[in-house]
Amino acid sequence: MIRIYDKLKIQLPVLLRRNFILFCSFFPAISFAQKSDTLFLKKKPAYYISKSIAPTGLIISGILVNGSGEESLKNELKEEHDEHFAHFHTHADDYLQYAPIGLAYGFDAIGMHSKTDIANRSVILLKSELLMSGLVTSLKYTTRNLRPDGSAHNSFPSGHTAQAFAAATFLTEEFGHEYKCTPYLAYGIASSVGMLRIANNRHYLSDVLVGAGIGILSTEVAYLTHHYKWGKHHATLHVY
């Protein structure tokens, strides 16, 4: 643990300079999304802060561990993978990334109470998917990081993980207010996708962390900027 801390302390200034452009990549897309729709309800600043803590922390953590040196944290974890999981492979992550979306509509079909009607919910999901895909794609082809298995230069960030966490946030927003176990189920599935991407040797830890942050952020922005124009039911949003 001390060894890892010392490495992060040494690498921190270099990593911040090298990856500063990645921070700038997020703001234009987020600003565009916020301008395209005015907020349905004005909320207290603490509400926005609480919604931004998790995705911001994940994105910053991912950038900080995105060192390229042989002794960087992400490459040390890669060495551990090669030693213990070199022959591991599964396609489960290809399907699990969409599981929370399926559960959201499945729960509604069996009569569980969602926060938003199906029309508005579907529009919110579409906006989240477009924002998430735009951010992930732009970063992949801006950074052009080589995948750990050497297959392509589009490793950073993890699109599977971004999809999984966007879907998990969608499921949590819709059912977490009434069914308290929902976040554990949703983010448990999403975290499994992230771990499988690393186990499959398709992504580094940094790719997964930033992907998770983008996924959460995209869905939160979609909810915060939604008009609720479709359908007769307007979601009840609590202001704290």
Task: For residues 215 and 234, give the distance between their C-alpha atoms in angstroms, rounded to a whole number.
Answer: 24
Cα 121–chain centre separation: 19
**Cα torsion through 222, 224, 227, 231, rounded to 10:** 70
Supply the pTM of this predicted model.
Answer: 0.81
Domain boundaries in the chain? 2-224
Distances (CA, A) of 197 to 148, 192, 201: 10, 9, 6
Tokens linked to 5? 């801390």
Tens digits of residue pLDDT in 157-173: 999 999 999 999 999 99
202 by DSSP, 3-state: which?
coil
Q: Answer whether the bond into residue 55 is a cis peptide, omega within 30°.
A: no
Q: What is the CA radius of gyration of the chain?
A: 19
Tens digits of residue pLDDT in 207-235: 999 999 999 999 999 999 998 876 654 44
